[in-house]
Amino acid sequence: MHRVREQLFALLSQAVHAATAQGALPPIGELPAFTVEPPPQEEFGDFATNLAMVLARPMRRPPQAIATAVLKFLPPNDLIVRAEVAPQGFINFRLTDAWLHDAVQTALEQDERYGTFDLGRGRKVQVEFVSANPTGPLQIGNARGGALGDAIANLLTALGYQVEREYYINDVTMSLQVQRFGESLEARYLQLLGYEVAFPEEGYKGEYVSELARELVSEFGDAFVALPPEERRQKFFALAKERIVAQHKAVLERFGIRYDNFVSEQWLYDSGRVARTIELLNEKGLTYEAEGALWMRTTAFGDQKDEVLVRRTGAPTYFASDIAYHLYKHERGYAFVVDVWGADHHGHVARMHAALKALGLERGEEEWLKIVLYQLVRLVKGGETVRLSKRAGEIVSLDDLLDWIGKDAARFFLLLRSADTHLDIDLDLAVKQSQENPVYYVQYAHARCCSIFKQAQERTHPALTRYRDADLRLLADDAERRLMKTVAAFPDIVYEAATKFLPHLVTQFTLQVADRFHDFYERCRVLGDDAALSAARLALVKATQIVLRNALSLLGITAPEAM
């Protein structure tokens, strides 16, 4: 489809230049940007363009008059069967079926490579995601960030980039959250050993803290009781971080995510990187002292207010360590990096870009750091919201979600909507073994494709040896044509989803493929008596199976061969 759109762009550009040269349209310099996209309704054709509407203002002509002139001067070609001007000025095109046949054949030939590109060849990029505080189990918000980050990494791999997945451990010992978690664990540990100690007022009350304390009692007994209080507290900070990070790694692997790198915030401090970063900003004249703190002049680079780098206590801020972290990323030679953050970090976006511009890592509108923000997730069961609260102990963790609905359903639902919209997951729907459940519906379509091939093998149907060289011109039914169009659309969907960091486009596309395949299956008998027609239909089934498998793989979801 990408190649066909390029042909249409070229034909339309030639038509405009010919029309202006002949005086049918007023002269214009460089053509403004216009679109060539599938129309919202199939009866309008295969593609539509807004070219005439875009030219209306600079040419001071009605869109319909411009569209009529453009069609008059379209160069002769073998691609367009019919072109019409719609009332609003859109130009609708119906194309020959040859481009659809080419797409099916390309899918068969490229197989696992169908929907991949060479755009990023030779360039290394990084996607950092989840990066949760080591203060408790990963929860549903982390799950959405995990599904998004992993799918974005898969999509960038499809573009040809060498992609590294990274997890940033927010484990700096001076963090109030880390301290409170360590104190909470220490209190539960001592209470289990029979000591009467007060639980921290702002501590973590979740049952997971008590479970972790029981593990430590079982493993170490009362070995920590005799330690001096400060030494014991530091020991519990370290143990809490170590155990929780191990839990995070385990559940993320269960979720299908494997990281290339884990980077510790505390390591940035211990290695001197945070101190060197602050020194660098001082040397560049980007800082000043006020109110007993050290500030960075981020307003000079687009931020709404200057930001504190070092508090009046002498402790660097999260902003300071984050700059150090991104400098470390840049040192590793990534062409660009993608950070996937919860929407509650939106205030951090402008200051990070300001810092990178101040250091010369970004210029103008060019962004080396790409930031994807995602909104909250709400779980619904029996029509009621399932509450989330890490502090109060009523936590619904990623492990819980995987226990309830499994990896595939979790990833599908988490990737079903745009990241910038709030998301509800119906837990009852997600476990239904019926076509009401969207992930079941899509996986069933893939299994059905595989089942048809299994039947062909069992029956030794002659189409099985002929489908790769089938005469695709025999595919004349509307259901066949619609399905071929979805096969043709797949590379464009991947390209858009990857370049715009919108994996939900792939998820929603799989539903369209499944919908059209099920319609085709009901209307068109694949393994019939006409061997030539059966071979053509089998080719279309195989191309559909390839598209579904490749799309689900991008989402990190399995494509079962039987259900």
pTM of the model: 0.93
For helices 207-220 and 229-254, the axis angle rounded to 10 degrees is 110
pLDDT of 2: 62
Residue 490: inside a domain, yes or no? yes
Co-location of 449 and 545 in the same domain: yes
Show which of 39, 69, 96 is a domain's final residue. 96
Q: Which of 170, 175, 131 is nearest to 149 (CA)?
A: 131
Show which of 70, 96, 122 is a domain's final residue. 96
Q: Is residue 425 within 8 Å of 377, Cβ to Cβ?
A: yes
The identity of residue 372, as a single letter, is V
Residue 425: inside a domain, yes or no? no
pLDDT of 390: 46
Among 38-47, 142-151, 224-233, which range has the highest average pLDDT?
Answer: 142-151
pLDDT of 365: 81
Q: What domain range includes position 92?
A: 2-96
Co-location of 91 and 189 in the same domain: no
What is the number of structural domains in the chain? 3
Residue 263: inside a domain, yes or no? no
pLDDT of 1: 62
Which domain CATH number covers 439?
1.10.730.10
Show which of 96, 112, 131 is a domain's final residue. 96
Q: How far apart are CA 400 and CA 254, in angstroms?
A: 12
Q: Is pLDDT above 50 for 95?
A: yes
Q: Is pLDDT above 90 for 177?
A: no
Convert the pLDDT of each residue in 79-88 to its tens digit. 999 999 998 8
Which domain CATH number covers 71?
3.30.1360.70
Residue 549: inside a domain, yes or no? yes
pLDDT of 394: 60
Can you list the pairs that 492-495 forms with residues at least 24 positions away whose Cβ atoms lie under 8 Å?
492/1, 492/2, 492/5, 493/115, 493/551, 494/115, 494/116, 494/117, 494/155, 494/158, 494/551, 494/554, 495/2, 495/117, 495/159
Residue 101: inside a domain, yes or no? no
Residue 189: inside a domain, yes or no? yes
Q: Which of 469, 470, 505 is nearest to 490 (CA)?
A: 505
pLDDT of 391: 41
pLDDT of 388: 56
Given pLDDT bands bounded at 50, 70 and 90, which one contains residue 265?
Answer: very high
Q: How far apart are CA 322 and CA 328, in angstroms?
A: 10
Residue 332: inside a domain, yes or no? no
Q: How far apart are CA 171 and CA 242, in angstroms?
A: 10
Co-location of 86 and 180 in the same domain: no
How deeply is 131 buried, as exposed, middle or buried, from its count of CB atoms within 10 A (0-12, 13-18, 19+)? buried
Residue 11: inside a domain, yes or no? yes
Co-location of 542 and 447 in the same domain: yes
Q: Which of 508, 462, 533, 548 is nearest to 107 (CA)?
A: 548
